């Protein structure tokens, strides 16, 4: 058991923690509606036809409105765990996951074909067409072409401390980019190519810490924080930053007003929109698009917007609500859910050992009664598909804290554990520590 625990704890330490107020409005009080799919959903996106989700057993499903879901693909026995899905346009979309599985569609999701891209779990992927793209595994970044997959050798121009690769994006068969960093919200630069990977150039934007890299309308976009007046006494001050580029080397600041990003920072970006808080959605790419107001409740980093409907994945269900346009409100909203950190490049899987894909939880919690540090004991059963059953959780100071942690831990995902090349269930325990702060 100790070998599972050592590897597991190391992975948890690199995960992202956020501050959550348990005294805020509870999910039961919010106008969210719960919807079930035929499999456990893991990620969600939207195209002009509506919503798409992926999950366990190669599951792919769609809905025009987030309410009624139609399964487009599902294996009858244990299949791949699909971790992400994206559509480049109305016709071309792709999903990726464990064992090098990439499912692609060129007819708007009516049919899906399996492409084997290596054999490692794909943690992030971006494709410009069915024959060109870039992927990220625990061990390497790889450039995909119809002729095969080739690992990217990080050039010597990249600082040796930049061992993390939080995002990859492909604009075309020639234009691709990799974000490389020292860690979560640390120094970050961009390794890009304009010739399909024949050559690569590295650029680190001065005095800017990018938090997220994504694709929008044929451009690379990044959001983060910029330090102004850094050369003055006291070290300057930070302001929100959003920039775009077509080559990864020359970047232009957004024309949009980023004032709403000052409170929480704008991140959890998808489809050009980013959360400025758990209740406010802004378009960081366009100054003409209005802000959207989201009810508090079930928001997670796995979300998508189609029309005025926002859907998110939480506790094994799809939760949907209506977003309303709003004027600028000069106050902070509720804290956003914490985003997830990927392991550093070069992390090799060992047979039978647990390795976390997504294991974020709130290390610091605000409660209206409890206060202090608490040692937890969590017993888990990790299934052969990488999903988790929380067998028990002891040590939480009260029921609200216990429930919140149970909800978060039940969403953890692992590389599907194997032994002698076969999938196995693994039971393990961990003993994380949390800090509870009493609200005033």
In the chain, domain spans? 2-9+347-438, 29-326
In sequence order, what are the residues at sequence separation of 6 or more whose Cβ sits closer than 8 angstroms to the Cβ of residue 277?
A: 263, 264, 332, 333, 334, 335, 336
Q: Is the pLDDT of residue 108 over 80?
A: yes
Q: What is the pLDDT of residues 242-289, one digit of tens each?
A: 999 999 999 999 999 898 898 888 989 997 899 998 889 999 998 888
In sequence order, what are the residues at sequence separation of 6 or more whose Cβ sits closer than 8 angstroms to the Cβ of residue 22?
A: 365, 366, 367, 368, 400, 401, 404
Structure tokens at 349: 């899987």
**Higher pLDDT among residues 60 and 419, named by residue:** 60
Residue 411: the pLDDT is 79
- Going by pLDDT thresholds of 50, 70 and 90, the confidence category of residue 209 is very high
Bridge-based pairing state of the strands 280-283 and 273-277: antiparallel
Q: Which residue has the tokens 């959360």?
A: 275
Range of weakest confidence among 114-118, 194-198, 324-328: 324-328
Residue 344: the pLDDT is 86
Residue 307: the pLDDT is 92
Q: Any idea how long the chain is?
A: 440
**Higher pLDDT among residues 322 and 333, named by residue:** 322
Residue 201 three-state SS: strand
Q: Which residue has the tokens 């039971």?
A: 427
* Percent of the chain scoring above 90 in pLDDT: 56
Q: What is the pLDDT of residues 325-353, one digit of tens each?
A: 998 677 767 777 767 678 888 877 665 56
CA distance 303 to 41: 12
Q: Is the pLDDT of residue 159 over 60?
A: yes
As a whole number, the mean pLDDT across the chain is 86
Name the residue among 296, 265, 282, 295 with its Cα closest to residue 327.
Answer: 282
Considering just the CA atoms, what is the radius of gyration of the chain in Å? 21
Region 102-131 average pLDDT: 95
Q: Is the pLDDT of residue 86 over 90?
A: yes
Q: Is the pLDDT of residue 84 over 80?
A: yes
Residue 351: the pLDDT is 55
**Higher pLDDT among residues 374 and 366, named by residue:** 374
In contact, 87 and 103? CB cutoff 8 Å: no
CA distance 175 to 24: 44
Q: Which long-range contacts (CB under 8 A, 24 or more apart) does 397-400 make?
A: 397/367, 397/369, 397/370, 397/372, 397/436, 398/367, 398/369, 398/370, 400/22, 400/367
Residue 2: the pLDDT is 40
Task: Give Dmax over CA atoms of the chain in angstroms.
Answer: 64
CATH number for region 29-326:
2.130.10.10
Residue 350: the pLDDT is 60
Residue 334: the pLDDT is 74
Strand order from edge to edge, sheet including 303-306:
33-35, 317-322, 309-314, 303-306
Most confident of 5-14, 241-250, 315-324, 353-362: 241-250
CA distance 101 to 84: 11
- Going by pLDDT thresholds of 50, 70 and 90, the confidence category of residue 35 is very high
Specify the pTM. Answer: 0.85
Q: Is the pLDDT of residue 429 over 60?
A: yes
* Percent of the chain scoring above 70 in pLDDT: 89
CA distance 349 to 353: 7
Name the residue among 35, 37, 49 with its Cα closest to residue 307.
Answer: 49
Residue 10: the pLDDT is 37
Q: Is the pLDDT of residue 19 over 50?
A: no
Q: What is the pLDDT of residues 45-76, one digit of tens each?
A: 999 999 999 998 999 999 999 999 999 999 87
Residue 271: the pLDDT is 79
Residue 366: the pLDDT is 77
Residue 83: the pLDDT is 95
Question: Which helix (H) or strand (E) segment is 7 a member of?
Answer: helix 2-13
């Amino acid at each position: 058991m100790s070998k599972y625990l050592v590897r597991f704890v190391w992975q948890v330490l690199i995960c992202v923690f956020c501050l959550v107020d348990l005294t805020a409005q509870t999910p039961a009080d919010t106008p969210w509606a719960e919807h079930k799919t035929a499999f456990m959903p893991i990620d969600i996106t939207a195209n002009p036809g509506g919503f798409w989700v992926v999950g366990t057993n190669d599951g792919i499903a769609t809905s025009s409105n987030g309410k009624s879901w139609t399964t487009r693909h599902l294996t009858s026995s244990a299949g791949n765990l699909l971790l992400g899905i994206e559509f480049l346009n109305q016709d071309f979309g792709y999903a990726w996951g464990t064992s090098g599985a990439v499912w692609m569609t060129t007819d708007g999701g009516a049919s899906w074909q399996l492409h084997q891209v290596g054999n490692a779990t794909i943690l992030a992927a971006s494709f410009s067409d069915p024959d060109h793209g870039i992927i990220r595994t625990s061990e390497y970044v790889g450039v995909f072409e119809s002729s095969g997959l080739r690992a990217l050798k990080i050039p010597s121009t990249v600082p040796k401390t930049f061992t993390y690769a939080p995002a990859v994006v492909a604009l075309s068969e020639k234009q691709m980019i990799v974000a490389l960093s020292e860690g979560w919200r640390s120094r970050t630069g961009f390794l890009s190519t304009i010739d399909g990977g024949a050559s690569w150039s590295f650029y680190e934007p001065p005095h800017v810490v990018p938090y997220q890299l994504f694709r929008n309308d044929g451009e690379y976009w990044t959001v983060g924080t910029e330090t102004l007046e850094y050369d003055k006494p006291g070290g300057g001050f930070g302001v929100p930053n959003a920039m775009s580029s077509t080559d990864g080397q020359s970047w232009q600041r957004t024309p949009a007003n980023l004032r709403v990003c000052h409170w929480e920072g704008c991140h959890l970006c998808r489809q050009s929109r980013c959360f400025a808080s758990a209740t406010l959605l802004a378009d960081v790419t366009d100054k003409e698009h209005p802000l959207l107001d989201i009810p508090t409740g079930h928001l997670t980093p796995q979300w998508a917007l189609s029309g005025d409907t926002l859907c998110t994945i939480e506790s094994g269900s799809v939760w949907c609500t209506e977003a309303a346009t709003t004027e600028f409100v000069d106050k902070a909203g509720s804290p956003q859910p914490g985003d997830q950190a990927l392991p550093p490049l070069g992390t090799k899987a060992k047979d039978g050992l647990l390795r976390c894909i997504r294991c974020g939880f709130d290390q610091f919690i605000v409660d209206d009664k409890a206060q202090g540090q608490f040692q937890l004991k969590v017993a888990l059963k990790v299934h052969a598909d990488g999903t988790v059953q929380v067998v028990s959780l002891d040590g939480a100071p009260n029921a609200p804290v216990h429930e919140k942690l149970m909800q978060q831990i039940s969403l953890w995902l692992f590389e599907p554990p194997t032994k002698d090349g076969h999938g196995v269930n693994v039971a393990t325990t961990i003993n994380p520590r949390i800090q509870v702060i009493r609200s005033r």
